[in-house]
Structure 1
Amino acid sequence: MKRIIGPNNKVNYGVYDELVDFNYKDFRLMNFFGKEIKGIRKYLALHMFNYIGINAGDYFVGLAAVRLGYMHLVFAYVYDYNQGMLFEMDKKGPGKGKLIFPVNPDEYSINYSTAKDRLIFVKSHSRNTLALQACLDGRLEISLTAPYGLEQYQPLRVLNPSDPYRWTFTEKCSPIVPDTLEISLDGNKLDPGPAPTLLYDWSGGYLRRETNWYWAAFSSPLPGEDEEIVGANFAALTNESFFSENAFWVGKERTRVARCIYDFNQTDLYQPWRIWDEDGTVDLHFVPQADRGERINAFLIKSNFNQLFGTFSGKLHPKGGELVEFEGIRGLTEFHRAVW
């Protein structure tokens, strides 16, 4: 099992297709001038988040737990492509609060529990399992289980420098097919459709104080295909200086993409987007339908965030495989600026 931090504070950057020894405590965090940061300042600099998106028939459901050292955040939403946003919850607080977030991307049970809310993410790569339980605001209830392991789905796992003295580890995968899935809102069961799929994202480390990203992701059966599934995760402006966070999956076969280019109108995010690469491996068009956003200008943090729901059309060319063309696959894009 490879350690992420080696001797002499060397960060072992790379692509990790095996389990990791996430020995983050051995890392010596440095300031701009190369002097070590210790104690509470180092503790506050460690950031982590886990997001699961559920593409379920006419619904897209998102849930996340975020640990920022000095504060925590838990959010969830249910978007109906026919009726709009049905449910949205956003709980923030100082410190870790009621959020238990273990620092291990391969084996964990994240738990958030209050008088009104309960959210549990469980993942074990050694046991090939992913599970989620949620009861939020007395309105939204979700239960899902899925087989999920490094050999089953070939997730993209990369360790990159965030700046010369910081690093970020991320694991992303799409699509994951759940074994069981139940969603209820206000006591009514929501129909997840015949072939629900999942998006997965775990990221953690010593991110830059100012972090920006463009992001696009989807997870879906291929239209007109009975069994074939397709998914993608594309990002820019984040940590792609060494190893990119771009990949797509046809079935469970992963194709890594070196770099993606985003062409969209920042003054009108509802105009169509184009996401493509120079090698002709990816050429996608995204038509936004709705968005959820947030603006925060507080003492320690700033956030300018828009996540858009819509449809992707275009083509993907898997390495060594046949060209895949499609229209109308539902998914997300995001434009996010943050100081945290």
Structure 2
Amino acid sequence: MVGYAMSVIDEAGRVVRGFFDQPVGPIEHMKARLKSPLGELLPLEARDQAFRHFQFMGAVSSRYALGCALSYSPLIKGAFLYLYDMSAREFILETRLSVRNDADRYDLSHDPDDGTSLFIAGDARIEMTADKAHGTKTLRATLADGVSIDLTFADAAPDFSPMRVCTQTGATGWTYAQKVAGVPAIGTISGPFGSLNLVEMGACAHHDYTSGFLRPETYWNWACFSARDEAGRLLGLNVSNGVNESGFTENCFWVDGRLVKTDLVLIQFDDEDLDKPWLIKSGDGAIDLTFTPVGGYHAVGDAGILASNFHQMFGHFDGVLQDSTLGRLPIKGLGGFAETQYLRW
């Protein structure tokens, strides 16, 4: 068995904030002490009520965007899955699912680097698997209409360095985030529309694993690309604001698997017209990008205790990354995502 360098939660129940350069093992939230904002130690059941989790995994090429998310809170166990054609500007597939009865399942793996998260709703089945022994992640999904997705990518040392960070969230919460982008995607997507080979289309994968005592009412912006540039380099981007700015940030990019951390990032867009170009700039000048949307996945609704105003846009990035090792890296038409989200969950 491969060991772990450090746990997010220590033996005394304290949460360790900061960056991690090795796998952290299971994130056992029930072992984490939880206090009220006034310092009162809360009972064990409060930890389950405070816990929230989501994963977003998929692949992107110059033409296609594949995205699959699993989300968990005390109020909802849900998933969405889509494949978008950025050339035709249309969804090839799009579905939103939730656990509704005892026949459905949501089994969460608390280890971002080992184990399987399983979601079953009716005839739909989604598996996100991390294989620590082989350093790979896999997305497998089947839908009632014959759609089948099989995606695999490698994201382990020494060839790749994931972003692993844990930060303070509000008065007593914390957020652990593990991000991956800029790795080759292997596999196929098939269904009534035919079959797509991820290697042949030059797709690269992305993965976001986030867990902790997150805010029950939250808002964030996020941007990501995962691609090869004109020079053949594997490039990945992950930036956000609204989640991880308490002492540390998750903002970074990758060059051939090498992690480059950056300063705080401004994500600027027209909230009256999300189809207009977005600007993404870091305070240290390492990131200076324009994102041009060609479509989007939207989930907007208010059910009282649950609410969502979620817009995940697909499109292309242009601009410059500034790397201390390689210097100026031109970004030209790399496929990716930009999103804005309000969530009450």
- Alpha-carbon distance in 1 for matches of 2:285, 2:140: 40
Q: Alignment partner for residue 21 of structure 2, among 13, 17, 20?
A: 17
Secondary structure in structure 1 of the residue aligned to 2:310:
strand
Match of 1:146 among 150, 153, 158: 153
Superposition deviation, residue 308 in structure 1: 0.8
String of CA shifts for 1:152-177, please: whole Å, max 9, x gaps: 21010000011121101010011121
Look up the equivalent residue of 2:211 and give its one-letter code. G
Q: Which of 251-260 and 55-64 deviates more?
A: 55-64
In the aligned structure 2, how far is the partner of 1:13 from the partner of 1:311? 33
Alignment of 1:1-340 (within 5 A): 1-6=5-10, 8-21=12-25, 22-56=27-61, 58-83=63-88, 84-93=90-99, 97-178=104-185, 180-186=186-192, 188-192=194-198, 193-222=200-229, 224-225=230-231, 227-340=232-345
Structure 2 CA distance for partners of 1:49 and 1:205, relative to 1, 3 Å: same
Runs (4+) off by over 6 Å: none
Deviation at 1:114, TM superposition (A): 4.1
Cα distance, 1:25 vs. partner? 2.3
Using the alignment, how far apart are the partners of 2:116 and 2:301 within structure 1? 29
- Compute the displacement of 1:24 (Å): 2.6
- State how far apart, in whole Å, the 2-side matches of 1:63 and 1:200 are: 10
Could you tell me the TM-score, scaled by structure 2's length? 0.92
Q: CA deviation at 1:7?
A: 5.4
Distance 2:162 2:211 in 1: 16
Change (3 A) 1:209 1:113: closer
1:299 Cα deviation (Å)? Answer: 3.1
The alignment covers a number of residue pairs equal to: 337
Question: What's the C-alpha RMSD, in Å, of the aligned pairs?
Answer: 1.9
Shift of 1:41: 3.5
Structure 1 residues 161 and 206: CA distance shift in structure 2, 3 A: same
CA-CA distance at 1:268 after TM superposition: 1.6
**Does the 8 Å contact 1:130/1:148 carry over to 2?**
yes
Shift of 1:27: 1.0
Whether contact under 8 Å (2:224, 2:237) holds in the other structure is yes
Q: Report the secondary structure of 1:265's partner residue.
A: coil
Q: Is the 8 A contact 1:286 1:313 kept in 2?
A: yes
Displacement of 1:3 in angstroms is 2.3
Normalised by the length of structure 1, the TM-score is 0.93
Cα–Cα, structure 1 residues 95 and 280, in superposed 2: closer, same or farther, change >3 Å?
Answer: farther
Aligned residue for 2:158, secondary structure, equals helix
Matched to 2:8, the amino acid is I
Structure 1 position 6, deviation (Å): 2.9
